[in-house]
Structure 1
């Protein structure tokens, strides 16, 4: 499983990179804040919303602690997606930056 730290994501955003970030948390969690530019697709909706996720380019998956995003990554890889990256530490770590 490919991973990236919240610090690396923040640095790349600050450098002006346009990243594809999918936040798989629930609605009440994202209401408390999201990474700028992230797209919200709750984990349980991913199977119905596959067409909204790039199939073969870098896509960073984010959740609260990196557990659900890891599950999303494994599911998407099983569907043939490539370029997936799990943000370690999740939003708990992001909020400490």
Structure 2
């Protein structure tokens, strides 16, 4: 990652007592963002889930806007909705 004056360099480290994200959590995140244009998203931390008329899954993620230089990176909270028939949709993306 490049260092940009006045900006955060996002390089998360994980507490030795925290489990890694599962393959299914990573796959779900990547599938939800597969057709996204204009920004790239990388999952950093899986926060948890909430059962509703389906399941809401929450992550902290790195967002990279695809613009001219400099690259704009921010940390965001991403919530993905998984319907009862396992279809995925982005529920919300909010800056933190």
Greater strand share, structure number: 2
| Structure with the largest fraction of helix | 1
Query: With structure 1 as the length reference, what TM-score do the two structures score?
Result: 0.23
Indicate the structure whose relative CO is greater, using CA pairs within 8 Å and at least 6 residues apart: 1
Instruction: Find the structure with the greater CA-based Rg.
Output: 2
